[in-house]
Amino acid sequence: MIIDGKRTSMRLEAAFWDGLAEIARREEVTVGTLCTRLAGELDSLSAGSLSSAVRVYVLSYFRTAVPTQGRRQARC
């Protein structure tokens, strides 16, 4: 992954990589562009690392996108 022109690595579970890719498609940006934005917002996301910031962002993005009724139906 290239963040602000620097090569970096991130360890994420497959579900978070999939979510990140889906968000990038929806927002019409590359995954790299999205991660660069998130890297600039580490403090506001209360995350100490880029991997944590991505997890928080993906969760927040989809929680916001799903209506309350959908949340009740999705519970296991």
* pLDDT tens for each residue of 2-61: 877 788 888 999 999 999 999 999 999 999 999 988 888 776 666 678 898 899 899 999
- Predicted TM-score (pTM) of the model is 0.77
Residue 55 tokens, joined = 């997890």
Specify the pLDDT at position 72.
60
Tell whether the model's pLDDT for residue 71 goes beyond 60: no
For 8, phi then psi, to 5°, come to: -145, 165
Residue 74: which pLDDT band, with cuts at 50, 70 and 90? low
